[in-house]
């Protein structure tokens, strides 16, 4: 689970500047199935004041634990989803 936390940190630090919901959804369309699942599961919790790292980490852990996202795919999927989610925070 520490890997997921580390991946969330990387996703946030590499994310582009805020771009808005439309850009976030456009970004999410290019994600693989696991990334889209993480994005769509976390999106309702994202707001300008949300702790994005905590949201992505908790969402990814939940999806891995429930077997919806393979553990081996969690890191790259969460990193990519985090980049798109950051755009939605505007």
Domain spans, the chain: 2-88
Q: What is the pLDDT of residues 49-80, one digit of tens each?
A: 999 999 999 999 999 999 999 999 999 999 99
Q: What is the pLDDT of residues 16-38, one digit of tens each?
A: 444 588 999 999 999 999 999 99
Residues 46-67 as b or e (16 or more Cβ within 10 Å = b):
beeeeebbebbbbbbbebbeee
Instruction: Report the alpha-carbon distance of residue 25 to residue 65 in Å, rounded.
Output: 25
Instruction: Report the alpha-carbon distance of residue 90 to residue 85 in Å, rounded.
Output: 10
At residue 8, the pLDDT reads 55
Instruction: Report the alpha-carbon distance of residue 7 to residue 82 in Å, rounded.
Output: 9
13 pLDDT more than 90: no
At residue 63, the pLDDT reads 98
At residue 16, the pLDDT reads 45
């Amino acid at each position: 689970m520490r890997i997921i936390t580390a991946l969330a940190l990387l996703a946030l630090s590499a994310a582009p500047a805020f771009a808005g919901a439309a850009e976030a959804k456009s970004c999410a369309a290019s994600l693989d199935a696991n990334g889209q699942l993480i994005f769509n599961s976390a999106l309702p919790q994202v707001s300008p004041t949300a702790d994005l790292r905590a949201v992505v980490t908790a969402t990814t852990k939940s999806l891995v634990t429930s077997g919806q996202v393979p553990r081996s795919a969690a890191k790259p999927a969460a990193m990519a989803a985090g980049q798109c989610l950051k755009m939605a925070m505007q």
